[in-house]
Amino acid sequence: MAFATLLTDDQVKRTHEASLEILENIGLLVRNEKARSIFFKHGAKVDPDSHIVKLPRAVTEKYIKVLRPTFTFRGRDPKFDKTIPKDSPVIVTGSSAPDIIDPITGKERRARSDDIARIAHLINELPAYDMFSISTLADDAPPGQFTLARLYPAIKYCVKPIRNTTKDMDDIQAIMKLLYAVAGSKEAYFEHPFVTHHYCPVVSPLTMDQLSTEAIIYFSELGLPVYPTIVPNAGLTSPMSMAGTLAQGNAEFLAAAVLMQMVHEGTPTIYASLPTVADMRTGAYASGGIECGMLHMAFAQMARFYNVPCGGYIGLTNSKVNDAQMGYETGMSVVEGILGGMDMFNMGGLLDALKAFNFAKAVIDDEIAQMLKRVKRGITFNEEELAVDVIAKVKPGGSFLMEPHTVKRMKTEALLTKLADRDARPIWEKKGSLDIEAHAKLKVNEILSHHTESLLSEEQEAQIRSEFKDLIPGMLAMPQPQ
């Protein structure tokens, strides 16, 4: 496949140049002291009063050259390991929603650790998801276990790669203990690190924060998988123009990527973003807007210019329900992504501009993701596929139905969707006139009602319990009416 592009090659180069100018002349406000000192040691100009860091062109260019062209996600079960761009598209859940649509009441409420256990199991079972980025926060987390209460149920029920974030260094120390306990030892974990760490160290415009920046440095030093996402919102935190948002966002990606390379040359990263254009009538966060996918296409072009894998949050919707708006906002942006050359799609399960997880949407997104993978597989092209001989045999006016050429391909050429209804109306009515949300809910119940033991062994559970005395149970239980 050749990707669709919204920028010419010259425009890509000019964006790159503009970003170098921004980094050299405007610079970044870097709140983290360690980061400032790393930047300084590697040739940046650091103002000790304003904490503005300026990157001379030669410095930025030096570290762009050592960026790695691939990134590997590892799962606890290595058969789920994926490397982008080779295995693109890698499909991931959207993450860190504070709320969930309760599967029984249909009402929005704060999400809890038992929700995460259920979601982890669902994502473990749904075929198109390649990675579980922990979908919600856990409102029931005991003090000091903000991240543990999210990561533990995720690991307990999902052996695919997991993406995780943390609050601060204490949080990081806690989860590393958990990961070592699951792996058997620190050494064993480092041999196959099955959690990918993720942060948003750059707050647009052009500000590196304290804690996420610290975390990015920490994992880069250790050589553990970590990457940043850039989140400009045109009109508020970046210029209202898409080109300006691109120039600034690209500078922000380069700043974070360069810092990681200064810490550890050759550390893999991803050109990840969540770019939006604000709805200036109300200031609404328009993550369902068509411009989100357009900006992703442009950022994907920048990523290819630097030869780094790319991706980010896409397939998002502003809708509060699984209606047609949810469908087209999700579907349109992810097709922009796949035809624009994105490698990684953080796309599953979230409604209401990333605010709430919804089980049925996660299932619908799984089918949409299968469609994306079908697009990526493309059109198989050779003489047998062209089938001129078959066309000759069938003759004008004939039927291809019974041809061996047809039979051989009938289960593989087209995606045999499981959720989408293709029945004729009378049959559909006889089956209860279900819309796709109803089909998706049935699928959710089917998956969640399979009683599932923890995917951790007794030894692993015992080790974890001995390390964390008051850890949440993290058990998968069918949601019950309250």
The span from the CA of 318 to the CA of 276, in Å, is 12
Kindly state the smallest distance separating residue 188's Cβ from a second copy, in Å. Answer: 41
Distances (CA, A) of 281 to 91, 284, 464: 33, 8, 50
The span from the CA of 40 to the CA of 330, in Å, is 43
Candidates 17-25, 80-88, 219-227, 442-450 — which segment interacts with a second copy by CB under 8 A? 17-25
Candidates 126-134, 401-409, 446-454, 459-467 — which segment interacts with a second copy by CB under 8 A? 401-409
Binding mask 441-480 for a second copy (x = CB under 8 A): ----------------------------------------
Distances (CA, A) of 267 to 69, 189, 246, 312: 10, 18, 24, 19
Among 66, 141, 222, 242, the residue binding a second copy under the rule CB under 8 A is 242
Closer to a second copy at the Cβ: 18 or 211?
18
Quote the distance between the C-alpha of residue 148 and its chain's center.
20
Binding mask 35-74 for a second copy (x = CB under 8 A): -----------------x----------------------
Among 64, 226, 277, 362, the residue binding a second copy under the rule CB under 8 A is 277
DSSP string across 184-221: SSHHHHHHS--EEEEE--EETTTEE-SHHHHHHHHHHH
**Structure tokens, 381:** 């092209």
Candidates 59-67, 166-174, 203-211, 441-449 — which segment interacts with a second copy by CB under 8 A? 203-211
Kindly state the smallest distance separating residue 280's Cβ from a second copy, in Å. Answer: 4
Q: Is 354 left (phi over 0), alpha (psi -120 to 50) or beta?
A: left
Closer to a second copy at the Cβ: 222 or 387?
387
Q: How many residues bind a second copy (CB under 8 A)?
A: 128
Closer to a second copy at the Cβ: 1 or 462?
1
Among 246, 254, 274, 354, the residue binding a second copy under the rule CB under 8 A is 246
Burial class of residue 394 in the structure, from the number of CB atoms within 10 Å of its CB (0-12 exposed, 13-18 middle, 19+ buried): middle
Specify whether the CB–CB gap between 147 and 198 falls below 8 A.
no
Among 79, 187, 281, 466, the residue binding a second copy under the rule CB under 8 A is 281
Q: Does 419 bind a second copy (CB under 8 A)?
A: yes
Among 154, 335, 347, 476, the residue binding a second copy under the rule CB under 8 A is 335
Distances (CA, A) of 162 to 49, 120, 136, 376, 445: 40, 9, 13, 23, 23
Specify whether the CB–CB gap between 208 and 29 falls below 8 A.
yes
Among 123, 195, 206, 316, the residue binding a second copy under the rule CB under 8 A is 206
Candidates 23-31, 68-76, 222-230, 263-271 — which segment interacts with a second copy by CB under 8 A? 23-31
- Rg over alpha carbons for the chain, rounded to the nearest Å, is 24
Closer to a second copy at the Cβ: 416 or 477?
416
**302-321: contacts with a second copy (CB under 8 A):** 318-321
Kindly state the smallest distance separating residue 102's Cβ from a second copy, in Å. Answer: 14
Q: Does 291 bind a second copy (CB under 8 A)?
A: yes
The phi, psi pair for 344, rounded to 5°, reads -130, 130
The span from the CA of 467 to the CA of 239, in Å, is 48
Candidates 55-63, 80-88, 216-224, 379-387 — which segment interacts with a second copy by CB under 8 A? 379-387
Among 78, 266, 398, 473, the residue binding a second copy under the rule CB under 8 A is 398
Among 42, 45, 409, 441, the residue binding a second copy under the rule CB under 8 A is 409
**Structure tokens, 300:** 């994907």
Q: Does 185 bind a second copy (CB under 8 A)?
A: no
Q: Does 236 bind a second copy (CB under 8 A)?
A: yes
The span from the CA of 396 to the CA of 394, in Å, is 7
